[in-house]
Amino acid sequence: MIRFYLQKLVRDKVVEKCLDDEEVLHTEYQALDKQAFRRELIRKVHEEADEIPLGDDQQDEALKELADLQEVVDTLRQDFGFSIEQVQEEMVRKKQDNGGFDNRHYIEYNDFTDDSRWVKILRAQPEKYREETAG
């Protein structure tokens, strides 16, 4: 017997297919509580996003992966109780305030004055923003 640990959220019919497959001797699975479900959905967002191919020559695969990603995002939205319209309204607000991604801008780093309000904000998130003293 060979055991593989998947340890990930799967679509509803995957468990059913495992249980019906004679080559699968046993499937250990569980239904997650609300917090664990949301945590796993967020992990799944990352997983699905990482699977999107970058090449223009992989349009079919990109479409499939984007559909998977959208399914996970929609499930997460529904679990939080938001309508599509609420999310779209928030998207419009954010785009009005901060713009979209049309210009493809990427900030490598910012240098701040020692008394900048941004220093405190960014220091509160060291796992997200690396700090160094610029000379």
pLDDT tens for 57-114 read 999 999 999 999 999 999 999 999 999 999 999 999 999 999 999 999 999 999 999 8
Helix axes 34-50, 59-80, angle to 10 degrees: 160
- For 41-60, what is the mean pLDDT? 97
Let me know: does 37 contact 79? Beta carbons within 8 Å: yes
Dist CA 89 CA 71 (whole Å): 19
Please give, one letter per residue, the 3-state secondary structure of 25-42: CCCCCCCCCHHHHHHHHH
- pLDDT value of position 133: 84
